[in-house]
Amino acid sequence: MTNQNTTVSPLVLGAMSFGTLVDEETSFALLDRFVERGGIWIDTADCYSFWASETGHGGASEEVLGRWLAARPSARAQVRISTKVGAEPLWPGSWPERRTGLSPRAVRAAVDGSLERLGIDSIDMLWLHQEDRAVAIEDTVDALAELTADATVSRVGASNHPAWRIERARAHARSIGSVPIDAFQLNSTYLRTRPGTLPPGVAHPFGVLSDEQRDFARANGIEIWAYTPLLSGAYDNPEKPVPEVYDHPGSARRLAVLDEIAAARSLGRGQIVLAWQLAHGIRPILGGSKLAQLDVAMDAASISLSVEEIERLDEPV
C-alpha cells in the first residue's frame, strides 16, 4: 500500500471501535482509505473498547491496528500512532472505580502492552487518558520522561485533565529537562452543552474543552485534538437527534447559522463543523464506520471558510 496523495490531512482517524463494533475487514478498509487520502494520525487506546468487548477488557483496537501494520509493511513509515494509558479496567466491570491509573509502574506496563499489541517499537503520541488524583502528577511525568528519553515515546499529551494539573506536569517536565505535554485531547464540537451538563459518553468532569483550556493551550502552544466533533452523526442524520444537553436557545441560533452556511455552499452541516474547527486550529478525530462517511468528513479538510463565515459561526450565544 502506498499513499498517492501528496496533501497531508490534518484530520485524525479514531480507531476506538475497531475490533469490536467495527469488524476487521471494515477497519482495514477505513485505514487504507484514510492513508490514501493523506491521513497521518491514527488514534487508539489500550482500553478500547472494553465496554463492547466479550472479555470486558480493551486491547482489540490496538490488536487490529497491529495486524493492519503487519499486513502493510510500508504503512508504519506513513502514519503516526497515538495511543492512551490509564483508563483500562483492572477487571471486567471495575471501571471507573478501579482502573490501571497513572502510577509509574502502571504507565510502563501499559506502554509495554500497547507496543506488543501494535507490533511497533515506538509510540508517536502517548496520552494520559484521564486524570488520576491518587498519583502525584510529577510521578507520572517522571515515568513519561523515561519513555521519551529512550525514544519509546516521541510526544506526550493529556486527555480529560484540568488545565492546572497540566501546568504542573509541564513545569515538572521542564525542571527535569524532559519533553512536556504539548497536546490536549478533549470533547469539542460546534454546539455547547447547558452549564453543569456533560455530553453523552463523557464521564470526566474536565473532559469537555472549556474556554480556560482553550486559552491555556493557545498561550502555551498546545495542540488541541477534538473527540466526538460530529455528535456521532447528529448534525446530518435525522435519525440521530442532537443530544438533549445541547437543547437551549443558544444552540437554536447556532444551528440556524450552520444551516444557512451549509445550504449556501451545498455542503453537510458536519463538514462545516469540521472546517470551523480546523479554522480554529483544532484537530478533529473522525470515528465513522463507513467509507462514505470517512470520505465526506475528509473532504472538509479542503473547505476554506471566509472570515465573515467564521465570524458568524463564532458569534456568542
Average pLDDT over residues 261-283: 98
Average pLDDT over residues 73-88: 97
pLDDT at 317: 65
Average pLDDT over residues 221-232: 97
Instruction: Give the mean pLDDT of the chain.
Output: 96
Average pLDDT over residues 211-222: 96
pLDDT at 288: 84
- CATH T-level fold of 12-314: TIM Barrel (3.20.20)
pTM score: 0.96
Provide φ and ψ at 266, rounded to 5°.
55, 45
Statement: residue 274 has pLDDT above 90: yes
Average pLDDT over residues 1-26: 86
Q: Which residue has the cell 497531508?
A: 8
Residue 181, C-beta contacts closer than 8 angstroms, at least 6 positions apart: 128, 156, 157, 158, 166, 169, 170, 173, 222
CA distance 132 to 159: 11
* DSSP percent split of the chain into helix, strand, coil, nearest 5: 45, 15, 45
Whether 183 and 223 have beta carbons less than 8 Å apart is answered as: yes
Buried b (16+ CB within 10 A) or exposed e, 16-47: bbbbbebeeeebbebbbebbebbbbbbbbbbb
Statement: residue 1 has pLDDT above 90: no
pLDDT at 7: 79
Distances (CA, A) of 277 to 41, 69, 80, 90, 294: 17, 29, 21, 36, 17
What pLDDT digit, counting tens, does each position of 281-291 carry?
999 999 989 99
Going from N- to C-terminal start, the domains of the chain cover: 12-314
What pLDDT digit, counting tens, does each position of 131-154 carry?
999 999 999 999 999 999 999 999
What pLDDT digit, counting tens, does each position of 186-212 carry?
999 999 999 999 999 898 999 999 999
Distances (CA, A) of 202 to 137, 209, 240: 22, 11, 18
DSSP 22: B
